[in-house]
Amino acid sequence: MDWITTVDHKKIAILYLLAGGLFFGIGGFEAILIRIQLIKPMNTFLDAQTFNELITMHGTTMIFLGVMPVIFALMNAVIPLQIGARDVAFPFLNALGFWTFLFGGILLNLSWVMGGAPDAGWTAYTPLSTSTYSTTHGVDFYTIGLQIAGLGTLIGGINFLATIITMRAPGMSFMRMPMFAWTTFITSAIILFAFPAITVGLVLLTFDRIIGANFFEVGAGGNPILWQHIFWIFGHPEVYILILPAFGIISEVIPTFARKRLFGYSSMVFATILIAFLGFMVWAHHMFTTGLGPVANALFSVSTMLIAVPTGIKIFNWLLTMWGGQVRFTTPNLFAVGFIPTFTMGGVTGVMLASAPADFQFHDTYFVVAHFHYVIVGGLVLGLFAGLHYWWPKMFGRMLSEKLGKWTFWTFILGFHLTFFVQHFLGLMGMQRRVFTYLPNQHFDVLNLVSTIGAFLMGVGMIIFLTNIVLTFRKPADAAADPWEDGRTLEWSIPSPPPEYNFKQTPLVRGIDAFWKEKTAGHTGMTPAEPVGSIHMPSATILPFLMSVGIFIAGLGFMFSRDEFKSDFVGFMFNHYLVTAIGLLITFGSMLMRSLFDDQGWHIEPEELEGEQI
């Protein structure tokens, strides 16, 4: 009950981590099935339809339900602490964001047991995703599930924007903000602009499929290319929503374990902003072969290549951060250092893809599969591993085992390169992506086998990581406030895990790497910016959970509104939109409750604070 009603950002972080971990596991399992099917030519392990459902769900799950929540988990766990705040700006909304994400994700995955998963690829290109060619409810689960989950992401993004703009500790100007806070800020801004685009697209596609609209239906004058534009106007910035937080994590981990401040801080900030800006300008590089014509292709080629410049700045700044430092190879830093060459490899293939006439060959082949897995797994997932190992003691008060952590790193990164490096060559040798099988004697066999073996090795790495977590929880929670000893930012100045109110007294920030600055000045803690006083806390509430349940029911009701049911009663309920109405009633009723009953929250009094050892 405590967990369903919580509005504490630290607990919501753990909820995000659990849910994200669950979906990540599902997505990973789907990946293993895909790789087993492709282990040899003309394999019959899976049939074509199931394979297409698996690739669709693997992509969709990993992007929307696997890595995004883990990013949100780290943001929730760390951002208020890093900027010296007691919570996020809107704790109620924070909980709402989590629950809508979770119920959207559950809805999407229900498709496996409720008559067919989506099968049109994670990009859901029309007309394949229209009801003419995708006749199960699969794509409905996709459109409605993602709308609900996307709501959560949008809410989260807006919340972080408000938090970072308004709740920084005294003295923390924007240019003294830690890099992870910066990338979270920019990521949230991208979410704010990109997610409405996909939501519009999903609504239009839902209308096409469920109430017979004709936005994309060719026979009735709809335009399928429109979907591609809408999708990629969201879809390309999405890549930066994913990778920028990883950049932020790397920018935190490397300075800590090099014992040096981040090299070129201001250029890092501007590179981040520039990447976000350019990220919105290049969506059509996913559409070079759609036939947009040479002018569009040339413009999008060149603008895409430009992204390499700010990204390159970041790579060299990280390397120079280590230069002259005292680099310690703890598990988080292993992942961070492993990230640099791996992500660079993904970056350079990105530049190669940007050249449109070369992309005519790369597009929709395993070369592309290799490229974006280098970016998303070799970049983002390695970054998340670094971040999780780094902040684990802060989140849970326990250090993960270094020995198992190192095993995780080596098995995972070796498995990763084994899986995806060879896929570049598969693509160049003529293997297109999203194929459920391939003919023998095309020189694809050996490389596919190697790739599958690598995938299993990555799976082993994940299992070692899970083992590490389980073993760690059997140990007492005794991590130090600054367990890595060289913590630089504010979160390391408070106990692990932090008390409910984070900071007894809001700290005074006197420069970049605020805590490090105090430590080098010979202080043991931060200088407070305020006297000890009564701390206002938000009340726990079940309303966000109920609102999400309502939307979930409404979504299911809408989706099945045109179906025929055996039972007349059930049919009546669905066909007259009564189920939808009940769901919406729950949601709007909860909103009304929230508006009518004013909740002032509660206070922690100074006497209680004094009683604790801080």
Partner 1 sequence: MMKTWQAVKRLLPMTAIFGLILAGCGREDLSVLRPQGPAAETSLGLMKLSITIMVVVLLIVFSIAAYVIIRFRRKPGQQEIPKQVEGNFKLEVLWTVIPLILVVVLAIPTVKAVFAAGNDHANDKNAIKVKVTGHQFWWEFEYTDYGVKTAQDLVIPKGKDIAFELTTADVLHSFWVPSLSGKIDTNPAGTINRFSFSAPNEGVYRGKCAELCGPSHGLMEFKVKSVSEDAFNQWIASMKSPVAVLPEDPELAKTFKNQCLKCHAVGDQGLAVGPNLTGIGSREAIAGILLNDDTGVDGAPIEENLKTWLHDPQSVKPGNLMPNPKDLGLSDAEIDGIAAYLANYKLD
Could you say which residues in the range 105-134 bind partner 1, by CB under 8 A?
Answer: 120-121, 125, 127-128, 133
In this complex, which beta carbon is closest to partner 1, that of residue 133 or of residue 565? 133
Q: Exactly one of 1, 2, 293, 470 binds partner 1 (CB under 8 A); which one?
A: 293
CA distance 470 to 483: 20
Structure tokens at 558: 């809408």
Site residues for partner 1, 318-377, by CB under 8 A, read: 319-320, 322-329, 334, 337, 340-341, 344-345, 348-349, 351-352, 354-361, 363-365
Minimum distance from residue 387 beta carbon to partner 1 (Å): 20
Residue 444 or 552 having the CB closest to partner 1: 444
Site string for partner 1, 464-503 (x = CB under 8 A): ----------------------------------------
Whichever of 248 and 555 has its CB closer to partner 1, that residue is 248
Site residues (CB under 8 A) for partner 1, limited to 399-438: 406, 410, 413-414, 417-418, 421-422, 425, 427-430, 432-438
Does 174 engage in binding with partner 1 (CB under 8 A)? Answer: no
**Beta carbon nearer to partner 1, 443 or 576:** 443
Site string (208-237) toward partner 1, x via CB under 8 A: ----------x----xxx------------
Q: How far is CA 402 from the centre of its chain?
A: 25
**Residue count, binding to partner 1 (CB under 8 A):** 100
Q: Alpha-carbon distance 198 to 213, whole Å?
A: 18
**Whose CA is closest to 368, among 569, 121, 37?**
121
Please report, as a single letter, which amino acid is at residue 54.
L
Indicate whether 259 belongs to the interface with partner 1 (CB under 8 A). yes
Distances (CA, A) of 548 to 134, 248, 417, 554: 28, 30, 40, 10
Q: What is the CA radius of gyration of the chain?
A: 24
Is residue 77 within 8 Å of residue 494, measured between CB atoms? no
Pick from 95, 107, 169, 313: which binds partner 1 (CB under 8 A)? Answer: 313
User: What is d(CA 548, CA 19) in angstroms, rounded to the nearest whole number?
Assistant: 15
Tell whether residue 456 is a contact of partner 1 (CB under 8 A). no
End-to-end CA distance of the chain: 28
Q: Pull the structure tokens for residue 378.
A: 């070799």
The residue among 20 and 222 lying less far from partner 1, judged by its C-beta, is 222
Q: Are 380 and 246 in contact (CB under 8 A)?
A: yes
Q: Does 267 bind partner 1 (CB under 8 A)?
A: yes
CB of 30 to partner 1, least distance (A): 16
Nearer CB in complex with partner 1: 135/539? 135
Query: Which one, of 362, 374, 376, 357, lies nearest residue 432 by Cα?
Result: 362
Q: Does 317 bind partner 1 (CB under 8 A)?
A: yes
Q: How far is CA 53 from CA 23, 30, 97, 425, 475, in A?
A: 16, 10, 27, 25, 41
Subset of residues 184 to 213 that bind partner 1, contact rule: CB under 8 A: none
Do the Cβ atoms of 103 and 548 come closer than 8 Å? yes
